[in-house]
Amino acid sequence: MQRHFRKSVWLAVASLVILSLSLGTLIAHEGRPVGDYNFVVGWLQEPSYEGALNAVSVTVTRLEEDAHASMQDESEGKEDTGGKQDSMTGMTGMAHDQRTPVEGLEGSIQVEVTFVPTGASETFDLLAVFGEPGHYVANLIPTASGVYEFRVFGSIEGLAIDETFASRGGGGGFDDIRSSAGLHFPEELPEIREIESGVRGALQTAQQAQDVALAAQEDAGNTLAIVALIVGIAGVVIAGIAFVAIAVLPALRRQ
């Protein structure tokens, strides 16, 4: 009896752990109804760290009529409470096993990734994930920690799509990119910003050296040109003297 009770307790604890991990992953994405579809967007790997391979994750499912109405009611309720988004919306959106996944969107939608602190942005194609209908990713390595925005745009079955999702630091629902300092093992590696700064300094030094070399080359070229001019003038003078000596002086002597 006690053995059975202990086994039940362990199963319950394991279930709670798995559920908590799943909820952490679900809440770390942002779900949003768009027309007749539901979007769930975030980083593929969360927590997310700079310098580590990651991907923009976009899951698109088809909303049922009752689910659509329910999510619209929730959205109106959020507007009444000051426009704050329910942190569980991502979990609702992730339950796509109860909805029909939207497949074949490669080439129809793209994602523009923006690093908010600097405004740097780039557009990526979204690729279908094998074995996961309705799930699309854009692989990238985020190289700076901070707030990011994902703008998903294109069209689905004639419906124009243009939705922007922000990470938590920008008021959204998915993870900001975190610094990887303190996570390296067994050797602590320099952060990407330090490497970038060192490379930039080396390039500047090389450019300065190249400029000095070009200036010296130009100076050398000018010197050679002056020498050539002097030699040319001397040649003309010598030729003139020779002409006088050969042609003019004998004629004068005959007179």
For residue 114, the enclosing domain spans: 2-189
Task: Report which of residues 194 and 138 the model is more confident about.
Answer: 138
67 and 84 fall within a common domain = yes
The residue type at 126: L
Q: What is the mean pLDDT of residues 101-129?
A: 97
Same domain, yes or no: 107 and 19: yes
Instruction: Give the mean model confidence (pLDDT) for residues 72-83.
Output: 52
| Same domain, yes or no: 219 and 143 | no
Give the pLDDT confidence score for residue 208 in this predicted structure.
80
Give me the number of domains the chain comprises: 2
Q: Are residues 166 and 199 in the same domain?
A: no
Do both 207 and 174 map to the same domain? no
22-42: b or e for each residue (b if 16 or more CB lie within 10 Å)? eeeebbbbbbbbbeebbbbbb
Q: Phi then psi for 142, rounded to 5 degrees?
A: -65, 125
The Cα 4–Cα 140 span in angstroms is 48
Looking at the fold, whether 137 and 245 belong to one and the same domain comes out as: no
Domain closes at, from 189, 216, 234:
189
CB distance 76 to 86 below 8 Å: no
Q: Strand, coil or helix: what is 49?
A: strand
- pLDDT, tens digit (0-9, with 9 covering 90-100), for 152-205: 999 999 999 999 999 999 999 999 999 998 888 888 877 666 666 667 777 877
56-70 pLDDT, tens digit each: 999 999 997 545 455
- HSE (side-chain half, CA atoms, 13 Å) at 46: 22
Domain boundary among 131, 166, 189: 189
Nearest to 150 by CA among 21, 59, 73: 59
Distance of CA 82 to the CA centre of its chain: 32
| Same domain (yes/no): 123, 236 | no
Identify the pLDDT of residue 16: 38
The pairing of strands 48-49 and 127-128 is unpaired
Do residues 53 and 109 share a domain?
yes
Which of 134, 159, 189 marks a domain boundary? 189
Among candidates 150, 23, 156, which has minimal Cα distance to 92? 23
| Pairing state between β 177-178 and 48-49 | parallel
The CATH number covering residue 145 comes to 2.60.40.3340
- Is there a single domain that holds both residue 171 and residue 112? yes
In the numeric block, the tokens 């307790």 are attached to 9
Answer yes or no: do 80 and 121 share one domain: yes
pLDDT digits (tens, 9 = 90+) for 224-253: 666 666 766 776 667 666 655 555 445 445
What is the C-alpha radius of gyration for the chain, rounded to an integer number of angstroms?
36
Residue 220 and residue 181 share a domain:
no
User: pLDDT tens digits for 3-48?
Assistant: 554 555 344 434 433 333 334 444 578 999 999 999 999 999 999 9
Q: How far is 63 from 88, CA to CA, in rounded Å? A: 17
- Contact indicator for 129, 57 with CB cutoff of 8 Å: no
Same domain, 140 and 228: no
